[in-house]
Amino acid sequence: MTLAIIGTGNMAKGLATVFAGNDIVFGSRNPSDTALSIADAVAKADIVFLAVPYDAAADVVAAANGFAGKIVVDLTNPMKADFSGLAIGFSTSAAEEIARLAPQAKVVKGFNTLFASVLQNGGKAAGTPATVLLAGDDADAVAEVEALVNAAGLKAIVAGPLAASRNIEAVAALNIGLGYGQGKGTDIAPTWVGI
Ligand SMILES: NC(=O)c1ccc[n+]([C@@H]2O[C@H](COP(=O)([O-])OP(=O)(O)OC[C@H]3O[C@@H](n4cnc5c(N)ncnc54)[C@H](OP(=O)(O)O)[C@@H]3O)[C@@H](O)[C@H]2O)c1
């Protein structure tokens, strides 16, 4: 299983930590010794992780030739510039908009409710394996990501079809509000008991 991480920033580093047991390639708009071009990274991948700003998604979809046939895990949070809340959300979500941009991709929402530092700490918040909320319209793609998450020692919870990303992105906004607005810090993560 080869994973392509698009982006080389904080979330990309965190994913690389969590998935250290897998083959990983990075894709970047600025290829280097450690990162391929976006198109080359995607071509090698079974699963692609989109670890770029939401506003960069259209650029990346174009660079990836539409991600045709690939599972694309969308980590983005479409926050307002001042992080006071989501810029979109009642009638669509970042994940649904990315699926519209890349109709041949199998888009799965995930990891956006976790701070990068939680991933960089091996997927643990306050010492506890973190929960990854997932959503997607392709049941096989969701099941593949669910298995990957659980194998990495985190806890996957499938929330439903891709439109459930509206709620998952709202949970992420709440998490950011607690971590920064309410000063709880970034060693926190949302989960559900009873599942
Ligand atoms: N940080 C968190 O705690 C956190 C938590 C949950 C979700 N997220 C989401 O995860 C995503 C990544 O966040 P991050 O904190 O990892 O950001 P980051 O550290 O700023 O890294 C962003 C990456 O995206 C790349 N990028 C930016 N614009 C691009 C474009 N037009 N085309 C191609 N690549 C582009 C950057 O490339 P260059 O190096 O070339 O600039 C960089 O590698 C965001 O959507 C964010 O909302 C973040």
Beta strands in the chain (DSSP E): 2-6, 23-28, 36-37, 47-50, 71-74, 106-109, 124-125, 128-129, 131-136, 155-158
Is there a domain that residue 24 lies in? Answer: yes
Give residue 78's pLDDT. Answer: 98
pLDDT of residue 98: 98
- Residue 32 domain-assigned (yes or no): yes
pLDDT, position 164: 98
Residue 33 lies in a domain: yes
Closest atom of ligand 1 relative to the 78 alpha carbon: 47
Position 188 in a domain: no
For residue 167, the 8-state DSSP code is: H
Model confidence at 112, pLDDT cuts 50, 70, 90, reads very high
Domain count, the chain: 1
Q: Is residue 41 part of a domain?
A: yes
pLDDT confidence of residue 95: 99
Domain range enclosing 79: 2-181
* Pocket-forming residues, ligand 1, beta carbon under 6 Å: 7-12, 28-30, 51-54, 56, 59-60, 75-77, 112, 115-116
Average pLDDT on 114-128 reads 98
**Nearest C-alpha to atom 7 of ligand 1 is from which residue?**
112
Candidate from 15, 29, 80, 187 with most ligand 1 atoms within 8 A of CB, to mutate: 29
- Residue 189 in any domain: the answer is no
Is residue 145 one of the residues assigned to a domain?
Answer: yes
Give CA torsion, residues 40, 44, 49, 53, to 10 deg. Answer: 0
- Per-residue model confidence (pLDDT) at position 160: 98
pLDDT of residue 105: 98
Q: What is the CA radius of gyration of the chain?
A: 15
Contact 165, 94 (CB under 8 A): yes
In a domain, 194, yes or no: no
| Ligand 1 atom 19 nearest Cα | 9
Per-residue confidence band for 66, with pLDDT thresholds at 50, 70 and 90: very high
Mutate to test the pocket of ligand 1, among 6, 11, 169, 187 (most ligand atoms within 8 A of CB): 11
**pLDDT tens by residue, 124-166:** 999 999 999 999 999 999 999 999 999 999 999 999 999 999 9
What spacing in Å lies between the alpha carbon of 76 and ligand 1's midpoint?
8
Task: State the pLDDT at residue 73.
Answer: 99
Q: What integer pLDDT is reported at residue 116 of this predicted model?
A: 98
Q: How high is the mean pLDDT of the chain? A: 98
CATH no. for residue 20? 3.40.50.720
Confidence bin at 31 (pLDDT 50/70/90): very high
The tokens 């499938």 sit on which residue? 158
